Structure 1
């Protein structure tokens, strides 16, 4: 698979970076350049550089973007499910609250680091915030 191999030749600064394969590598929390090194060194902390290909990752400016996207996705997924389950079964409010609280927290904790990786990879692919510039 191409994502697990390190490119032996460095790419020139003007080389085109493919967007969707790069974002998919970031969603998997892998280095956007080589696809094999881990991007995160904790739950949400981005490494300064890839341990495999030595690509600098400290340029990222993810800030509140991953949290916003997580809230947006979780809200749009669970709101219709909540409405459908209430109209179909009319569960007790405490049961409904407990189930959806667990679902919301679980889905949010799953998506947050993956969306952060995807956002950092998007910035890398588009050469934003210092990625790809000769500094």
Structure 2
């Protein structure tokens, strides 16, 4: 029974944490900025001092970004090309800019969400244990 009580006290809500991460805020307090630059995660939150340097986001955000951008832009590209029949160079130029812009928008948000997921699930050192 005591073990269940401890587990309940240490529960971290996944959805609010990931929403905070998506907005590039600390998953713990939601106030401090998670990043010190475009994709550099701070060592610790300047507001609540939550330690974040041990995250392991690695290539996950990049893979998710490619997956989402590809699934949005590829059908849109085909629909535009066959419906309006524009010059291929115009289509390539417009969709290149669109893919880059969407990727630059999604990448830090997905990285924040993945770091927040790791924090909420106590993965990779976020559990508070020193082992």
| 1:44-123 paired onto structure 2 within 5 Å | 44-123=39-118
Supply the distance in 1 between the matched residues of 2:93 and 2:30 (Cα, whole angstroms): 38
Greater shift after overlay, 62-71 or 13-22? 13-22
TM-score by length of 2: 0.91
Residue ranges of structure 1 left out of the alignment (5+ in a row): 1-11
Structure 2 Cα separation of the partners of residues 26 and 34 of structure 1: 11
CA RMSD of aligned residues (A): 1.2
TM-score by length of 1: 0.89
Aligned match of 2:3: none
Partner of 1:28: 23
Unaligned 5+ runs, structure 2: 1-5
How far did residue 86 of structure 1 move? 1.0
Aligned length: 124
Runs of 4+ in 1 over 2 A off after TM superposition: none
